[in-house]
């Protein structure tokens, strides 16, 4: 270990001694040992270098005595050699390792949602008041075959459509990467609101099977926790090919997080690393994928729609077309802002494409090929508000997955230290001392509130556009206008520039 | 139903509450030899040192008797019990009929025959009138000798010291409060008292007393020691007040009156509670609990009093002691201790067959004392958490999980 | 009667119940004054016991036949016949600590307030609708509810 640290701490903990009552809540709650107490001197102090700015202490302090400051950058301002680069270089010079991080890409790439604006009705077409008139957010997920012939109605290989009461689902987060408490919060909220949560690749804990009817049960390259009971319990089965935060990369849940209940759920020995290979080793082609899709459908007697989740990458439209033709009922596309419990920083920050462009490209391609009806398109990766959801649906998505927003509702402060397992908020941890901080009763209520608020806002926006059903908005890009976008971007998104008429 | 209670202290008042748990209607009459409504008897030492005033002496608010529809005969003494006629004869000749009777007559100070000892030259220290008398005598600078260094003597000592009286304790045993303190603890406390200016003569007792010409007392001890004093307090012990029962067929007297598990004394409708009960430690919690149970049983309940081990909390001159069960035992027992003589701390747990048999806590008492007492009374096996018993973080959560979960759900 | 029940699965060891208890039992009812002027640190009537990762707030169970009331030498400790709340009339307490030895749960501690002895025990914030520890618990690890019939 180097004896000299080349970098000052990233954050500073400031304590207002006028306010501090020395209740020590900060010391007990800090997940990273930054807050310290010296009993002999009855003195509180901070080890700034340990602070990750998760804000747990700030939130818990009853006296409002704490503030976390960003330390000034250690070198003079340099637009090219930014602080992030400097810190990464120093860390690697010390460790020689791959940089790890958590949550989604935090780099200043453009966010197209912020360059898109919605339409509203004025005079010539009436807007709708969602408080007075019915407004439908129910969305049906799955494959629609048209025209429907009598023969097809009798087709035993058609999977049913799955209704969700709002076009928002909780995205895949595995038990193991998040705590049982966080997982249970998602499951309870999904059931209460009438939408779906996603098990991720870690299986479904036995005690949460009562929520299985609201679960998208994932089958990933590691096949953790996959068994016939699991597949048949879920509402939708999802084959995970890729993840927006780390396209082309597998997963690695370290052995410390494989506690006894996690091991049982994943069906692997306790304390062993859970390695998800980068590819499915039985899928090297669309034909291979088709085999797995129909294997899963056979295993569930065609009662469960099968989703295939991929990262938004350069060739996403063609891949999506292949997935649709392989028999998937749902295609989930995860954009480059999508989160993760752990990913190499370089991958997270530099691989993949924006979800907005991917939605537009996939929707366009499937329409052109006349197979858009065969699949539902679910978009994921960094949805921050109901407006993002509405814009995604107008671009062509049927529904969206949210995960980072859900975790923020549960307390996440985006400190990006999920991979350490020390989450102070009880979310990305298997340490019972930390995880018990997240009471699933409260967690579920907060998630329910988030869904409720967003759904209400979506109704308001729809009403403003004179639309009374979310399905009428899907792919309706005339309701979008771009601002500050160049012609290529406008063309790819399939939207006109603000100021252009219908 | 017609209830009569003889005695008006802790057992009696709790009996009233016990009766009223089941019977809101029946008439209750209390016969009180003292001229006061029930007061916290151990408060007398606090009263003497002026930490408690007259208005704070009552054990229950004045309304207690009215609210519970109790008739109190103050200053009346029961002189005879006629179980055949179900009557109590009072000192004014009145005959009080009863359906249910409670004997809560308590005890009186034991004063052995000593040469020269007359009521005029000693004080007792057990009731309000005792300290009212003592108050006039306890003038700063005077000297007092207290015979007996048990809880009563120690509390008398404290209040006299606080009033500026120079105190000498004379104790027949080889140490202070011998039923509770083992020799090591006794020495610790003795040192504390001496540091506070209290003289202490152990293994000694009073053999004669006489008043000198100047009005002071001249005391001779068994050891030959001679003392001068202005005040002599007799605090050797108490004897149960069982006169009413003497000679009654069907009643067994063994110092106190022997009771059954329902606290009945063997005569129809007659119960006993408090210090008058044979074998019961003369301690306030025990009197209160017995009173409550006896009262309920008088009103028709069928509760059982399981004899409780003694437990006592005693503080004097800032030193606090809690003694539970057999806190003296050493030989033949497993003993865990935490001792810090400089801080006057002595914590001792006595175990027999992995069960708590005694507890002694000096000068470091906290909420854990209650848990120890409960463990001792329940006879819970402590082997699984024995190492934790004296640790600073010992608590409810140190007990087996099923037990603490159940307790927290109560 | 309604009592405070701890739900250990959700107790996160923040000890804010103790803080809220102290404020609720201060003269000022103000966090800063309670700690900095009234010096009430350490006088909580609820104690969070720690066996990490487990922790749980322990407080008076307001027994049907309370030992603390039975043992009280001054009559200061009482059980309110209406509400069932066991509480100490603090100006009557002389600090003998028999109540401390009596409590089966270890829920009474010897304490001091303005130079007077005070048994530190939960009084369910008698005058409030909801005890401060429950109202302020950030994780609903404490609930105030009726769990069985009777007092």
Spatial contact of C59 and C122, defined as CB atoms under 8 Å apart: yes
- Distance of residue A344 Cα from the nearest chain C Cα, in angstroms: 31
Note the pLDDT tens digit of each residue in B93-140. Answer: 999 999 999 999 999 999 999 999 999 999 999 999 999 999 999 999
C135 in contact with chain A, both atoms CB, cutoff 8 A: no
Say whether pLDDT at B357 is over 60.
yes
* Alpha carbon distance A431, A401 (integer Å): 27
Neighbours of chain A (3+ CB pairs under 8 A): C
Q: Is the peptide bond before C53 cis (omega within 30 degrees of 0)?
A: yes
Among A217, A283, A274, A218, which residue's Cα sits nearest to residue A250? A274
Pairing between strand B226-229 and B95-97?
unpaired
21-40 of C, contacting A, C-beta below 8 A: 31-32, 35-36
pTM of the shown model: 0.94
Polymer length of chain C: 151
Report residue A386 as tokens: 């109901």
Residues C89 and C108 in one domain: yes
Report residue A399 as tokens: 């529904």
Cα A192 off chain centre by: 20
* Alpha carbon distance C146, C136 (integer Å): 19
Give the mean pLDDT of C79-105: 96
Cα nearest neighbour of C34 on chain A: A21
For residue C96, give the nearest of B42, B288, B370 by CB distance. Answer: B42
For residue A23, give the nearest of C15, C52, C54 by CB distance. Answer: C15
A431: exposed, middle or buried (Cβ count in 10 Å: 0-12, 13-18, 19+): middle
Task: Quote the number of domains for chain C.
Answer: 2
* Alpha carbon distance B73, B367 (integer Å): 40
Polymer length of chain B: 410
Taking an 8 Å cut-off on Cβ atoms, the answer to whether A442 and C32 are in contact is no
Say whether pLDDT at C27 is over 90.
yes
Domain coordinates of chain B in residue numbers?
2-107+239-298, 119-234, 318-408
C52: exposed, middle or buried (Cβ count in 10 Å: 0-12, 13-18, 19+): exposed
Taking an 8 Å cut-off on Cβ atoms, the answer to whether C16 and A433 are in contact is no
- Distance of residue B293 Cα from the nearest chain C Cα, in angstroms: 10
- Please, which residues have CB within 8 angstroms of residue A95's CB and are 6 or more apart in sequence? none
Q: Which CATH superfamily is domain B318-408 in?
A: FAD/NAD-linked reductase, C-terminal dimerisation domain (3.30.390.30)
Spatial contact of A224 and A274, defined as CB atoms under 8 Å apart: yes
Question: What residues in chain C have their Cβ under 8 A from chain B's Cβ atoms?
Answer: 5-6, 8, 47, 49-51, 54, 56, 58, 61, 63, 65, 67, 69-75, 91-92, 94-98, 100-110, 147
Give the mean pLDDT of B48-76: 94
Phi/psi of residue B29, nearest 5 degrees: -120, 130
Please tell me the predicted confidence (pLDDT) of residue C148. 75
Cα nearest neighbour of B313 on chain C: C98
Say whether A45 sits in a helix, a strand or coil: strand
Taking an 8 Å cut-off on Cβ atoms, the answer to whether A436 and C14 are in contact is no
Domain coordinates of chain A in residue numbers?
11-97, 114-283+301-317+326-470
The dihedral of CA A232, A236, A241, A245: what is its sign?
Answer: negative
Cα nearest neighbour of C10 on chain A: A436
Please tell me the predicted confidence (pLDDT) of residue A2. 52
Q: What is the DSSP string of C57-120?
A: EE-----SS-HHHHH-SSS-EEE-TTT--EEE-GGG-----HHHHH-TTS--EEEEETTEEEEE
Say whether pLDDT at C150 is over 60.
no
Residues C17 and C37 in one domain: yes
Taking an 8 Å cut-off on Cβ atoms, the answer to whether C58 and B405 are in contact is no
CATH class in words for B2-107+239-298: alpha beta
* Alpha carbon distance B113, A33 (integer Å): 72
Size of interface B-C (CB pairs under 8 A): 132
Cα nearest neighbour of C60 on chain B: B408
Among B41, B21, B27, B28, which residue's Cα sits nearest to residue B282? B41
CATH number of A114-283+301-317+326-470: 3.20.20.70
* Alpha carbon distance B218, B210 (integer Å): 5
* Alpha carbon distance B117, B122 (integer Å): 7
Say whether pLDDT at C102 is over 60.
yes
* Alpha carbon distance A22, A245 (integer Å): 41
Neighbours of chain B (3+ CB pairs under 8 A): C
Taking an 8 Å cut-off on Cβ atoms, the answer to whether A21 and C35 are in contact is yes
Report residue A430 as tokens: 């298997």
- Please, which residues have CB within 8 angstroms of residue A358's CB and are 6 or more apart in sequence? A312, A316, A317, A333, A335, A379
- Distance of residue A384 Cα from the nearest chain C Cα, in angstroms: 26
Please tell me the predicted confidence (pLDDT) of residue C149. 58
For residue C100, give the nearest of B60, B289, B369 by CB distance. Answer: B369
C89: exposed, middle or buried (Cβ count in 10 Å: 0-12, 13-18, 19+): middle
Say whether pLDDT at C94 is over 80.
yes
What is the DSSP-derived secondary structure letter of residue B113?
-
A chain contacts of residue C11, beta-carbon cutoff 8 Å: 436
Give the C-alpha distances (Å, rounded to integers) separating B338 from A369, A413, B343, B346, C42: 85, 47, 11, 6, 23
Among C129, C101, C105, C131, which residue's Cα sits nearest to residue C22? C131
CATH number of A11-97: 3.30.70.20
Say whether pLDDT at B179 is over 60.
yes
User: Which of C44, C73, C119 is best to mutate for the B interface (most B CBs within 10 A)?
Assistant: C73
Three-class secondary structure assignment of A241-263: CCCCCCCCCCEEECHHHCCHHHH
Say whether pLDDT at C89 is over 80.
yes
* Alpha carbon distance A328, A291 (integer Å): 11
β-pair partners for C124: none
- Distance of residue C2 Cα from the nearest chain A Cα, in angstroms: 21
Residues C136 and C115 in one domain: no
Please tell me the predicted confidence (pLDDT) of residue C151. 40
Spatial contact of A165 and A137, defined as CB atoms under 8 Å apart: yes
CA angle B69/B71/B76 to nearest 5° reads 160
B chain contacts of residue C107, beta-carbon cutoff 8 Å: 367, 370
CATH of the domain at C109: 3.30.70.20
Please tell me the predicted confidence (pLDDT) of residue A90. 92
* Alpha carbon distance A172, A307 (integer Å): 12
C chain contacts of residue B55, beta-carbon cutoff 8 Å: none
Say whether C30 sits in a helix, a strand or coil: coil
Taking an 8 Å cut-off on Cβ atoms, the answer to whether C70 and B288 are in contact is yes
Please tell me the predicted confidence (pLDDT) of residue A156. 80
Spatial contact of B329 and B337, defined as CB atoms under 8 Å apart: no
Note the pLDDT tens digit of each residue in B253-297. Answer: 999 999 999 999 999 999 999 999 999 999 999 999 999 999 999
Can you give the residue range of the structural domain that contains C97?
A: 63-121
Among A64, A132, A84, A111, which residue's Cα sits nearest to residue A345? A84
B268: exposed, middle or buried (Cβ count in 10 Å: 0-12, 13-18, 19+): exposed
Taking an 8 Å cut-off on Cβ atoms, the answer to whether A436 and C12 are in contact is yes
pLDDT per residue of chain A (502 residues) written in tens, 0 to 9:
556 778 899 999 999 999 999 999 999 999 999 999 999 999 999 999 999 999 999 999 999 999 999 998 878 899 999 999 999 999 999 999 999 999 999 999 999 999 999 999 999 889 999 999 999 999 999 999 766 777 766 778 889 999 999 999 999 999 999 999 999 999 999 999 999 999 999 999 999 999 999 999 999 999 999 999 999 999 999 999 999 999 999 988 889 899 999 999 999 999 999 999 999 999 999 999 999 999 999 999 999 999 999 999 999 999 999 999 999 999 999 999 999 999 999 999 999 999 999 999 999 999 999 999 999 999 999 999 999 999 999 999 999 999 999 999 999 999 999 999 999 999 999 999 999 999 999 999 999 999 999 999 999 999 999 999 999 999 999 999 999 999 999 999 999 999 998 7
Instruction: Say what the ipTM of the complex is.
Output: 0.96
* Alpha carbon distance B41, B128 (integer Å): 7
Report residue C37 as tokens: 């002027």
Polymer length of chain A: 502
- Distance of residue C24 Cα from the nearest chain A Cα, in angstroms: 14
- Which long-range contacts link B227-231 to residues 24+ away (Cβ below 8 Å)? B227/B145, B227/B168, B228/B143, B229/B143, B229/B144, B229/B145, B229/B168, B230/B137, B230/B142, B230/B143, B230/B144, B230/B165, B231/B123, B231/B134, B231/B137, B231/B138, B231/B142, B231/B143, B231/B144, B231/B145, B231/B160, B231/B165
Cα A399 off chain centre by: 13
Note the pLDDT tens digit of each residue in A397-406. Answer: 999 999 999 9
The dihedral of CA A450, A453, A457, A462: what is its sign?
Answer: positive
Residues C106 and C136 in one domain: no
* Alpha carbon distance B347, B327 (integer Å): 10
**Run of H or E residues at A323:** helix A316-325
The dihedral of CA A176, A179, A184, A186: what is its sign?
Answer: negative
Is there an interface between C and B (3+ Cβ pairs < 8 A)?
A: yes
B chain contacts of residue C70, beta-carbon cutoff 8 Å: 14, 285, 288-289, 292
B212: exposed, middle or buried (Cβ count in 10 Å: 0-12, 13-18, 19+): exposed
Q: Is A29 left (phi over 0), alpha (psi -120 to 50) or beta?
A: alpha
β-pair partners for A9: none
CA angle A56/A61/A67 to nearest 5° reads 70
Q: Considering just the CA atoms, what is the radius of gyration of chain A in Å?
A: 24
The dihedral of CA A183, A185, A191, A195: what is its sign?
Answer: negative
User: Which of C6, C57, C75 is best to mutate for the B interface (most B CBs within 10 A)?
Assistant: C75
Say whether pLDDT at C123 is over 90.
yes
C chain contacts of residue A22, beta-carbon cutoff 8 Å: 35, 41
Residues C53 and C68 in one domain: no
CATH of B119-234, one of 3.40.50.1820, 3.50.50.60, 3.40.1710.10, 1.20.1050.10: 3.50.50.60
Spatial contact of A324 and A306, defined as CB atoms under 8 Å apart: no
C chain contacts of residue B40, beta-carbon cutoff 8 Å: 72-75
* Alpha carbon distance A41, B277 (integer Å): 54
Spatial contact of A426 and A434, defined as CB atoms under 8 Å apart: yes
Question: What residues in chain B have their Cβ under 8 A from chain C's Cβ atoms?
Answer: 14, 40-43, 46, 51-52, 56, 58-60, 284-285, 288-289, 292, 311-315, 320, 322, 324, 365-371, 373-374, 393, 395-398, 404-405, 407-410
């Amino acid at each position: 270990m180097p004896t000299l640290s080349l970098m000052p701490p990233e954050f500073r903990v400031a304590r207002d001694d006028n306010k501090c009552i020395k209740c020590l809540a900060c010391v007990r709650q800090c997940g990273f040992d930054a807050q310290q107490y010296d009993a002999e001197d009855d003195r509180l102090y901070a080890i700034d270098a340990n602070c990750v700015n998760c804000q747990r202490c700030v939130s818990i302090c009853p006296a409002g005595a704490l503030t976390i400051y960003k330390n000034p950058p250690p070198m003079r301002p340099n637009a090219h050699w930014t602080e992030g680069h400097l810190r990464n270089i120093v860390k690697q010079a010390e460790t020689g390792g791959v940089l790890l991080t958590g949550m989604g890409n935090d780099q200043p790439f453009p966010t197209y949602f912020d360059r898109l604006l919605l339409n509203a009705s004025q005079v010539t077409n009436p807007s709708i008041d969602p408080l007075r008139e019915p407004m439908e957010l129910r969305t049906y997920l799955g494959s629609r075959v048209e025209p429907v012939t009598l023969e097809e109605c009798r087709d035993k290989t058609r999977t049913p459509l799955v209704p969700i009461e709002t076009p928002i689902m909780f995205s895949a987060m595995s038990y193991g990467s998040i705590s049982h408490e966080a997982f249970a919060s998602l499951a309870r909220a999904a059931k209460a609101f009438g939408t779906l949560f996603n098990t991720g690749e870690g299986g479904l804990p036995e005690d949460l099977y009562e929520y299985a009817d609201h679960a998208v049960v994932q089958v990933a390259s590691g096949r953790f926790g996959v068994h016939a009971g699991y597949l048949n319990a879920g509402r939708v089965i999802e084959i995970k090919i890729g993840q927006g935060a780390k396209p082309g990369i597998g997963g690695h849940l370290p052995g410390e997080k494989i506690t006894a209940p996690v091991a049982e759920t994943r069906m692997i020995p306790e304390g062993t690393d859970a390695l998800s290979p980068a590819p499915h080793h039985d899928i090297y082609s669309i034909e291979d994928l088709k085999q797995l899709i129909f294997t899963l459908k056979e295993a569930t007697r065609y009662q469960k729609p099968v989703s295939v989740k991929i990262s938004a990458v350069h060739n996403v439209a063609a891949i999506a077309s292949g997935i649709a033709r392989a028999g998937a009922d749902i295609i989930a596309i995860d954009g480059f802002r999508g989160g993760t419990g752990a990913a190499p920083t370089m991958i997270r920050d530099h691989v993949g494409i924006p979800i907005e462009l991917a939605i537009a490209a996939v929707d366009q391609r499937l329409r052109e090929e006349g197979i858009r009806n065969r699949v539902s398109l679910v978009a994921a990766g960094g949805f921050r508000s109901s407006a993002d959801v509405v814009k995604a649906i107008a671009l062509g998505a049927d529904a969206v997955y949210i995960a980072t927003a859900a975790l923020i509702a549960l307390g996440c402060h985006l400190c990006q230290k999920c991979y350490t397992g020390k989450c102070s908020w009880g979310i990305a941890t298997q340490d019972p001392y930390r995880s018990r901080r997240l009471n699933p009763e409260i967690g579920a209520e907060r998630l329910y509130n988030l869904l409720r608020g967003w759904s209400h806002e979506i109704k308001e926006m729809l009403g403003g556009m004179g639309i009374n059903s979310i399905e009428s908005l899907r792919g309706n890009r005339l309701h979008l206008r771009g601002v500050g976008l160049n012609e290529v971007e406008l063309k790819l998104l399939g939207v006109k520039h603000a100021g252009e008429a219908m | 139903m017609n209830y009569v209670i003889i005695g008006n202290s802790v057992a009696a008042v709790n009996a009233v509450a016990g009766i009223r748990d089941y019977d809101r209607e029946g008439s209750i009459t209390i016969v009180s030899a003292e001229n006061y409504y029930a007061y916290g008897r151990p408060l007398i030492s606090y009263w003497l040192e002026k930490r408690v005033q007259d208005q704070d002496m009552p054990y229950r608010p004045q309304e207690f008797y009215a609210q519970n529809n109790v008739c109190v005969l103050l200053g009346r003494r029961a002189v005879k019990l006629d179980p055949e006629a179900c009557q109590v004869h009072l000192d004014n000749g009145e005959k009080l009929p009863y359906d249910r009777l409670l004997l809560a007559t308590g005890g009186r100070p034991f004063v052995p025959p000593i040469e020269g000892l007359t009521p005029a030259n000693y004080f007792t220290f057990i009731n309000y009138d005792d300290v009212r008398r003592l108050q006039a005598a306890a003038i700063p600078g005077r000297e007092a000798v207290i015979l007996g260094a048990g809880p009563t003597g120690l509390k008398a000592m404290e209040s006299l010291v606080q009033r500026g009286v120079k105190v000498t304790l004379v104790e027949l045993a080889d140490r202070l409060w011998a039923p509770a303190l083992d020799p090591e603890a006794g020495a610790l406390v003795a040192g504390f008292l001496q540091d506070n200016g209290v003289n202490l003569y152990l293994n000694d007792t009073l053999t004669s007393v006489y008043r000198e010409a100047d009005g002071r007392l001249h005391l001779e001890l068994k050891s030959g020691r001679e003392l001068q004093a202005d005040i002599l307090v007799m605090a050797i012990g108490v004897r149960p007040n069982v006169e009413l029962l003497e000679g009654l067929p069907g009643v067994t007297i063994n110092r106190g009156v022997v009771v059954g598990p329902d606290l009945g004394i063997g005569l129809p409708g007659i119960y006993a509670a408090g210090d008058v009960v044979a074998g019961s430690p003369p301690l306030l919690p025990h009197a209160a609990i017995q009173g409550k149970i006896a009262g309920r049983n008088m009103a028709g309940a069928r509760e059982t009093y399981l004899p409780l081990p003694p437990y006592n909390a005693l503080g004097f001159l800032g030193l606090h002691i809690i003694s539970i069960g057999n806190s003296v035992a050493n030989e033949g027992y497993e003993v865990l201790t935490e001792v810090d003589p400089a801080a006057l701390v002595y914590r001792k747990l006595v175990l027999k067959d992995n069960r708590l048999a005694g507890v002694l806590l000096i000068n470091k008492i906290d909420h854990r004392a209650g848990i120890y007492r409960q463990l001792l009374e329940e006879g819970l096996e402590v082997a699984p958490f024995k190492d934790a018993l004296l640790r600073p973080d010992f608590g409810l959560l140190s007990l087996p999980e099923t037990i603490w979960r159940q307790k927290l759900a109560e | 009667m309604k009592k405070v029940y701890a739900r250990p699965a959700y107790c996160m060891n923040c000890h804010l119940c103790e803080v809220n208890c102290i404020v609720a039992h201060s003269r000022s009812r103000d966090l800063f004054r309670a700690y900095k002027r009234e010096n009430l640190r350490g006088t909580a009537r609820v104690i969070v016991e720690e066996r990490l990762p487990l922790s749980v707030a322990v407080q008076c169970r307001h027994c049907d036949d309370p030992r603390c009331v039975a043992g009280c030498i001054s009559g200061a400790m009482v059980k309110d016949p209406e509400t069932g709340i066991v509480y100490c009339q603090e100006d009557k307490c002389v600090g003998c600590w028999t109540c401390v030895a009596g409590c089966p749960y270890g829920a009474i501690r010897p304490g001091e307030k303005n130079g007077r002895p005070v048994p530190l025990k939960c009084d369910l914030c008698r005058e409030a609708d909801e005890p401060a520890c429950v109202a302020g618990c950030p994780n609903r690890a404490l609930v105030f509810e009726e769990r069985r019939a009777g007092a």
